[in-house]
A and B are shown apart, each in its own frame.
Chain A
Amino acid sequence: MQRVIPLPPYPGYPAMSPNALCFGDEFPAAGAPCIVQVEEHGLTVTFASDTADGQPESVPFSSLTVTAGGLDHDHLVVKWVNVQGERTLYLKNPDVIRAFRESVPDHLSLPFAQAAERVRQVRHRGRLVWGVVGGAILATVLGLWFGADLLVELAVSRIPVEWEHKLGESAYRDFLSHQEVMKDGPAVAALGEMTQRLTEQIPNNPYKFEVTVVKSDVVNAFALPGGYVVVFTGLMKKAESGEEVAGVLSHELNHVLQRHGLERIVKSLGLLTVVAIVLGDQQGLVGLMKQLGVELLTLKFGREQETEADLKGLQLLQRAKIDPSGMIRFFERLSEKDQGRMEWLSTHPMSTARAERLKAELAALPKKSPEPFTFDWKHVQASLGSQPVAAP
Chain B
Amino acid sequence: MKSEILYPGAFPMVRVDLAAGEHIKAESGAMVACSPTIDIESKMEGGFLGALSRKFLTGEKFFFQTLRASRGPGEVLLAPTVPGEIVILELDGVSEYMVQKDGFLAGADAILIESKMQSLSRGLLGGEGFFILKISGKGMLVLNSFGAIHKIELKPDQEYIVDNSHLVAWSATTSYNIEKATSGWVSSFTSGEGFVCRFRGPGLVYIQSRNPGSFGAWIRQFIPVSE
* A contact set with B: CB distance below 8 Å: 17-21, 23, 25, 28-31, 33, 48, 69-73, 75, 79, 86, 88, 90, 92, 126, 129-130, 133
Contact = CB atoms under 8 A, between A and B. Distances in A.
A20 B172 CA distance: 12
Given A30-B95, A48-B92, A75-B173, 5 more contacts: A21-B173, A23-B173, A25-B155, A29-B154, A86-B156
A129 B120 contact: yes
A19 B172 contact: no
B120 A31 contact: no
Contacts of A30: 95, 153, 171, 203-204
A33 B173 contact: no
A48 B171 CA distance: 19
A90 B92 contact: no
Contacts of A19: 94
Contacts of B201: 23, 29
A330 B20 CA distance: 92
Interface residues of B, number: 24
Nearest to B117: A130
Contact of B92 (A18, A72, A73, A129): A18
B200 to A, nearest CB: 9
B36 interface: no
A71 B172 contact: yes
A87 B98 CA distance: 24
B175 A23 contact: no
Contacts of B176: 71
Contacts of B171: 30-31
A252 B202 CA distance: 76
Contacts of A70: 172-175
A75 B174 CA distance: 10
B29 interface: no
Interface in B103-157: 117, 119-120, 153-156
A138 to B, nearest CB: 16
9 contacts: A28-B153, A31-B94, A31-B202, A33-B93, A33-B94, A70-B173, A72-B119, A88-B202, A130-B120
Nearest to A93: B94
A361 B29 CA distance: 72
Contacts of B204: 29-30
B193 to A, nearest CB: 22
A95 to B, nearest CB: 14
B114 to A, nearest CB: 13
Contacts of B172: 70-72, 75, 92
Interface in B185-227: 201-204
Interface in B13-50: none
B162 to A, nearest CB: 14
A135 B65 CA distance: 38
A29 B153 contact: yes
A90 B173 contact: yes
Nearest to B153: A29
Contacts of A23: 155-156, 173, 201-202
A31 B203 contact: yes
Contact of A21 (B95, B120, B155, B175): B95
B92 A29 contact: no
Contacts of A86: 156
Contacts of A133: 120
Nearest to A18: B94
Nearest to B151: A29
B3 to A, nearest CB: 18
Given A23-B202, A29-B154, A88-B156, A73 B94 contact: no
B199 to A, nearest CB: 10
Nearest to A130: B120
A258 to B, nearest CB: 43
A71 B93 CA distance: 18
B94 A20 contact: yes
B174 A71 contact: yes
Give the residue among B94, B201, B204 with the most A Cβ atoms within 10 A.
B94
B130 to A, nearest CB: 10
Contacts of B96: 92
Contact of A33 (B92, B117, B156, B170): B92
A298 B154 CA distance: 71
Contacts of A69: 173, 175
B139 to A, nearest CB: 13
B93 A18 contact: yes
Given A18-B93, A23-B155, A29 B120 contact: no
Interface string B159-189: 0000000000011111110000000000000
Nearest to A79: B156
A29 B202 contact: yes
Most B Cβ at <10 Å: residue of A29, A31, A72, A129: A29
A90 B173 CA distance: 7
Contacts of A20: 94
Nearest to A73: B175
A171 to B, nearest CB: 32
A16 to B, nearest CB: 11
B98 A71 contact: yes
Question: Which of A31, A88, A126: most chain B Cβ within 10 A?
Answer: A31
A79 B157 CA distance: 12
Given A75-B172, A90-B173, A29 B203 contact: yes
B175 A31 contact: no
A21 B174 CA distance: 12
Contacts of B202: 23, 29, 31, 88, 90
B223 to A, nearest CB: 27
B175 A33 contact: no
A122 to B, nearest CB: 9
